[in-house]
């Protein structure tokens, strides 16, 4: 490794552990937990997470370097709650909330606030299909501009 860069193999190991843990538990592990699980130093893991963030695999919190989201999994509770496989998951937005059952090939119930009035909306996914929905999903920012300011998007 040179100039603090992580090897592709280590980036893959961190990525697989991170997403596997998020899918299995509904919680996105942070650098210390990942380091402990992989038997590596937290500094090594933080460097890997930073590289994964630069590659848009993760969204890092802007001020403390923690993981904000490992799309579609949000690391902190949000308005986009997904109940699937007997667990609670969080999406950072409706796109990711819908992505959780798709990624996990699971039935799910999603609750989310209406972007207009704030009322609670309910969506159900069964056998890969949206079978119950309320309202309209609207994306105010075109997908090709999401990473211009992913926090706002």
- The one-digit pLDDT tens for each residue of the chain (153 residues) are 344 578 999 999 999 999 999 999 999 999 999 999 999 999 999 999 999 999 999 999 988 889 999 999 999 999 999 999 999 999 999 999 999 999 999 999 999 998 888 899 999 999 999 997 777 777 788 778 877 776 666
**Cα-based angle 42, 49, 149 (whole degrees, multiple of 5):** 140
Q: Which pair of structure tokens corresponds to residue 83?
A: 């109940």
Q: What are φ and ψ of residue 98, in 5° steps?
A: -70, -30
**Residues 59 and 109 both lie in one domain:** no
Number of neighbours of residue 97 by Cβ within 10 angstroms = 26
Is there a contact between 84 and 97 (Cβ–Cβ < 8 Å)? no
**Range(s) of the domain holding residue 38:** 8-70
Among 42, 70, 98, identify where a domain stops: 70
pLDDT for res 1: 39
CATH code (residue 54): 1.10.10.10
Which 3 state secondary structure label does DSSP give 65? coil
- Which helix (H) or strand (E) covers residue 68, if one does? strand 67-70
Is there a contact between 82 and 110 (Cβ–Cβ < 8 Å)? yes
Among 34, 49, 70, identify where a domain stops: 70
Number of domains in the chain: 2
Distance from C-alpha of 128 to C-alpha of 81, rounded to nearest angstrom = 18
Is there a contact between 32 and 42 (Cβ–Cβ < 8 Å)? yes
Task: Return the DSSP state at 85.
Answer: T
pLDDT for res 3: 47
Nearest residue to 18 via CA among 43, 41, 56, 48: 48
């Amino acid at each position: 490794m040179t100039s603090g860069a992580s090897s592709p193999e280590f980036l893959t190991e961190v990525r697989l552990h991170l997403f596997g843990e998020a899918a299995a538990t509904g919680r996105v592990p942070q650098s210390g937990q990942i380091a402990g699980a992989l038997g590596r130093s937290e500094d090594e893991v933080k460097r890997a997470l930073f590289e994964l963030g630069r590659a848009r695999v993760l969204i890092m919190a802007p001020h403390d370097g923690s993981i904000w989201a490992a799309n579609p999994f949000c690391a902190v509770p949000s308005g986009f709650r997904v109940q699937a496989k007997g667990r609670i998951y969080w999406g950072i937005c409706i796109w990711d909330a819908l992505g959780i059952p798709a990624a996990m090939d699971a039935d799910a119930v999603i609750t989310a606030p209406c972007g207009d009035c704030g009322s609670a909306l309910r969506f159900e996914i069964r056998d890969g299909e949206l079978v119950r929905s309320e309202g309209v999903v609207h994306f105010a920012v075109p997908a090709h501009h999401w990473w211009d300011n992913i926090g706002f998007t």
